[in-house]
Structures are given as C-alpha cells and as structure tokens.
Amino acid sequence: MNNIFFELTILLILAGLIAVVVSFFKQPSIIAYIITGLVIGPLGYYQLRQSEVFDALAQIGITLLLFMVGLELDISQIKRLGKTALITGLGQVVITTSIGFFILKLLGFSNAVSLFIAPALTFSSTIIVVKLLTEKKDMQSLYGKIVVGIFLIQDFIAILMLISLSSTSGQTFSLYSSLPAWQNIILTIVRGLILALLVFWVSTKFFPKIMGYIGKNDELLLVFALSWALGLAAFVSQPFIGFSLEIGGFLAGIALARSAMHYEISARIKSLRDFFIILFFIVLGSQLVFKDMASMTWPAIVLSLFVLIGNPLIVLLLLALQGYKPRTGFLAGVTVAQISEFSLILVALGQKIGILSQTEVGLVTLIGILTITISSYMILYAQNIYEKLKFFLKYFDFFKGSAEKNLHTVELKDHVILVGAHRMGKHLIDSLSKQKKTFVVVDFNPEIVELLVENGTLAVCGDITDPYIQEQINLPYAKLIISTVPDLNDNLSLLDTVKRKTGLKRSRPKLIFIAQDEAEIKYLYEQNIDYVISPHFMGGLHLAKILEDGQGYKGLKKLKERHLHVLGHKVG
C-alpha cells in the first residue's frame, strides 16, 4: 500500500508540474498527462511497480468518462440544431474515414489496421474545443452552435463504434466461440437490445421512485451514482453479456440522463472523473513503445497534416455546399483539426482485441499530441488566420451564403435590430410588427430564421459580431438595437462593435440590453446603455401591480387565462 501511495504521489506531482508548464503555452492539460506517462515509461526516468493497479484505476477513469457522456447526452439537441449538424457531422466522419483509409494503405498499413486507425482520425475533442471556444466567448456564435452539433454527432458515432467493437473482444465470445460469425453478430444485437430494454425499464420504473429520497442526501447521491455506474459496467463486461466496461458506464449514464438529479450527479462525479482520467492518459503515455517509432515518424507527419488541414477543408466544403459563408465554414472547420480522447480510447481497444500493436497505438497517440498542440493555437487565432486566407476562401462561397440569408438587396436605415428571436424576442417581434416598425432579426438558429422568413419577417441567420452580418443589416445606421441575449460578455462584445462602427457618426443607435442580476444592470448602465431589461425586476413590478389592483385576487384567473393563451396552451 505504501508503494501505491508513493507512486501515486510521484505521478500527481509530476503531472501537476508539467501541466503548469504546458498551460503557459496555452495547451490543454491532456498533453501534460501524456508527457508525464512518457517520462515515467518509454523515457525510463521511473518505472511503475504497481502498473496493474494503475491500469485498473485508468479503466475506472474511462468508465466514468463514458458515464458522464451518457449522463449529459441530449439526443433532442440533434433535432434542435437541424440538418446542418447532422449532414456535416455524418459527412465529415464518412469522408475523413474514407480518405484516411486510402492514405494509410498508401503508407503500407494492412486493411485491418487501416480500418481501425482511419475512424480514429475523424473524432475531435469536445472537451478541449468547448473549453477554448468558451475562453473566446464564441459558444453562442453561429459557428459555435454548428460545432456543438457536429461534435454531438461525432460522439454518438464513436459510442456506436465502441459498442460494436467491444463485442469482438477476446472474452466476448468465449461462450459462443464455436458459432459462425453471423450468429455471433445476431447474438450481440439481441444481447444489446435486451440490455437496452432493461436499462430503459430501470430508468423509467425504478429510479424515479428512489431518486427523490436519495437526492436529499449529497453523500448518498454520490455513492449511488458511483455504484450504479461501476456496477453496471462490471455486469455488462461479464462473458455472458460480452460488452466492455466503457459501454456499461455509458448505458449507466443514459439511464440517469432524464432524472431531475442528473445535474447534481454530474457536478459530484466530475472531479472524480477528472482524477481518474488523468491516470488513464498517464498510463497510456507510459505504455507507448518507441523502439519502432522511427519508422512511424513519416506516417505521423502525413496523418497529422491530414487531420490539421484535411479535416477543416472537409467541414468547410460541407458547410459551403449547404450555403454557409466561408468565414462560418472556416471557423467551424478549424475546431475539428485534432483527434480526441475517443480516438485514444478506440485505439486502446484495438490493442486490447489484438488488431493494433503498441507501436500503432503509439503512432495515434503521437498524432494526438501533435494535432492537439497545433490546433489549440489554430482555434485561438482562427479569426487572424481567416483574415490572411480570406482571398482564397472566397471561392468556397458557392451559394452566396444563402443559408445565412444574404440581405444584399435589402436597404435598411433608421431601423430596429433585434438580436435573439427566442422567448422574449418572439413577443418583441409581434409588437414591432403591430407598430409597423422597420426591423430586422438576427439569430444564430437557422430553423428559427427560416420560420421567421416564411412568416414574412426580415431575418438573418448569423453572429451579430460577424462583420459580414453587420454589413448586411446596416448596423451603424440603426435607430435602435435590442439584445435579448442573456450573456454579459456577448452584450459587451456587441457594445464594442457598435462603438467602433459608429465612431465617426454624430450619434450611435439607442441600446437596450438584458441583464441577469443587479451587478450586471449597474455595470451595463456604467457603459452608457440606454436601458437595461431585468426579467426579475420587471416580473416583481408586474406582480406588485397585480396585487395592488382593485380586483384583488379575483383577477388572477383572468390573467392566468391570458398567460396561457399567449403561451399557446388551451385553457381547461
């Protein structure tokens, strides 16, 4: 036990020190953990004596990672994000896999190895990219929303691949090894369906009855979540079931995804997941083999260039064919210029079932280090890179940005710009229409914009901070700009844009922004915003007016009926 404690302490101290250095260069922590593994493994500075223990801890990390993916997976997001994410996500996976397979064959790899590594080149790191986009405050931009949809499709495909591949592991068919391959496949599908139905039954019939009680005790909720995730993972990995630990963790997360407590579970599991996933990447780095890596240098360079250049071009082309502007396609494409943690899990599984060697796993890991390192800078400085390449990228404007509702033919002056058409924005659109005001709506959701256009409303799909969008809506000559976007940073970015665009004009547009609390209200007023909307403040005034009304409580029924009518509900 002392040896385990000592070695674990060494790993964490070393990982922490390397992470500090790596963060100085604006790199994700995953790079630091793999480098830590390299230091204690292939480079030989320290050899783990308790390697089996750390292998087991690494498996817990992957199981919890997949548990969190299942817990936070919202299938309905695919519908909300529309066909753009679906077409781009599926198209990118298929095209990257096909081209990657061809390149791997040219580099001399076998069919089996090529079929395994090629899909690993398609998946991008949701964790890394979302973190970088959040730092850039681009999560609410048009391309940010498209990227989230693409990554959701990628994650879903990765999960399906892990499920199918885990059924071919060495222990899976130990009870059915004498059966033909087609019967094994049918048995795998049957076992999977039975397992899925069982998990669905538990999630709908059993968990709702106990979650109310468990949720009252934070400690009990944590123990329950861990025991369910690890317990189901252990169960499905048994030979008579034949799936991997990771798939068990994912199914355990899916079972709790619809629970009212899933946010609390995520918050409590996250730190534990991060701790164990650190050990996974350290163990992965420690197991790399460098004795044949000299022969892998050229393949690593070629495949890394394919991921760094080819993947962004594929996404750019797919979005251009759907009518998006080159800027949107380029910024979205840059985010997929790296491989993900799913890629590393996939090749680790490939080694486990005997298809990939340690050298080939090392190749993919090296590609991961190179692409994650370089793409991090590409994402952070994407706008600057776009400006340099703008002349060449204009040739990808196949349909003149039709998906972003080109407004070249529309002349706007002394008009109202409404940023955000959801919730509050919908009521403002009705009001502006009744007043016969000249206005234009800007929203990043293509489906909302399409619906508005069909109803005769002038609307543009895009990011209000995009210079192209600003040009189309004639932002400097607007009379009033209303932002219903609740994010303070987005509103401050819009304010900065208005100041820059109207710097030479005698007066800037009147500005109405929304705020979430008193601190934001005060800060926005300090920035000379003309009026700040506070939903809580306005709601309080409205309720006070109702209570002060001469009808007392008798008018509540009438107000309720009017409220339900506005919401589109029938009054019972």
What is the dihedral sign for C-alpha 494, 495, 501, 507?
A: positive
Q: Is the pLDDT of residue 354 over 90?
A: no
Give the mean model confidence (pLDDT) for residues 320-347.
Answer: 88
DSSP 179: S
Give me the pLDDT at residue 527, please: 86
pLDDT band at 158 (very low <50, low <70, confident <90, very high): confident
Which residues lie below 8 Å from residue 452, measured CB to CB, with a gap of 6+? 421, 429, 441, 443, 459
Give me the pLDDT at residue 552, please: 55
Q: What percent of the chain has pLDDT over 70?
A: 77
Give me the pLDDT at residue 525, please: 86
Q: Is the pLDDT of residue 258 over 90?
A: no
Most confident of 178-187, 212-221, 500-509, 527-536: 527-536
Question: Which CATH number is associated with domain 405-533?
Answer: 3.40.50.720
Choices 3.30.70.1400, 1.20.1530.20, 3.20.20.370, 3.40.50.300: CATH for 2-393: 1.20.1530.20
Domain boundaries, given as residue ranges, for the chain: 2-393, 405-533
Q: Is the pLDDT of residue 163 over 80?
A: no
pLDDT band at 562 (very low <50, low <70, confident <90, very high): low
Contact yes or no for 86/100 (Cβ under 8 A): no
Write the pLDDT tens digit of every residue in 424-474: 777 788 888 888 788 888 887 766 777 887 787 888 777 777 666 777 788
Q: What is the secondary structure of 194-236 as a DSSP string? A: HHHHHHHHIIIIIHHHHHHHHTT-HHHHHHHHHHHHHHHHHHH
Q: What is the dihedral of CA 535, 541, 544, 550, to 10 degrees?
A: -120
pLDDT band at 572 (very low <50, low <70, confident <90, very high): very low
Give me the pLDDT at residue 407, please: 46
In the numeric block, which tokens belong to residue 473?
A: 């809506």
Give me the pLDDT at residue 260, please: 64
Q: What percent of the chain has pLDDT over 90?
A: 13
pLDDT band at 215 (very low <50, low <70, confident <90, very high): low
pLDDT band at 523 (very low <50, low <70, confident <90, very high): confident
Write the pLDDT tens digit of every residue in 304-330: 999 999 999 999 999 999 888 888 899
Q: What is the secondary structure of 530-564 as a DSSP string? A: SEEE-HHHHHHHHHHHHHHSTTGGGGHHHHHHHHH
Same fold, 2-393 and 405-533: no
Give me the pLDDT at residue 91, please: 93
